[in-house]
């Protein structure tokens, strides 16, 4: 159990573990954004969230923000992209790898308790969505 003040050595976690927690954090960010910025029915909210979290779009978002990442963040993304994973069902292999990289980055930042950077990156993602 993680308690306030606990530090997690993210170097000891695999990229898949980082992506696992990052997936949950990213979806929570998206859901929070959707319910606070759009007046939609539950069905439309769900469809909007699914659109944000699908691998194809996560890969697109990562490609848009890649140049803004710090070197350490790029290394985490690279670890996520290069991690061994199952073959995706509803997307291309490369999009799946990039999505895993984005999720690993979000998980890494979350476990480092760097909420400010998560929010900065999420704002960049939102701006690419509006283009």
- As annotated, the active-site residues are 23
Burial of 63-72, coded b for 16+ CB within 10 Å and e otherwise, reads: eebeeebeee
Rounded to an integer, what distance in angstroms lies between the CA atom of residue 131 and that of residue 16? 30
- The radius of gyration of the chain from alpha carbons, rounded to an integer in Å, stands at 15
For 96, the token pair is 């799946």
């Amino acid at each position: 159990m993680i308690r306030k003040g606990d530090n997690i050595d993210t170097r000891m976690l695999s990229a898949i573990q980082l992506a696992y927690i990052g997936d949950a954090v990213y979806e929570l960010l998206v859901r929070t954004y959707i319910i606070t910025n759009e007046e939609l029915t539950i069905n439309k909210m769900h469809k909007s969230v699914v659109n944000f979290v699908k691998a194809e779009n996560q890969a697109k978002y990562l490609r848009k923000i890649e140049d803004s990442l710090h070197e350490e963040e790029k290394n985490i993304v690279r670890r996520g992209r290069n991690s061994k994973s199952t073959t995706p069902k509803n997307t291309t292999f490369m999009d799946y790898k990039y999505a895993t990289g984005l999720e690993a980055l979000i998980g890494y930042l979350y476990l480092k308790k760097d909420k400010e950077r998560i929010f900065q990156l999420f704002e960049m993602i939102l701006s690419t969505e509006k283009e």
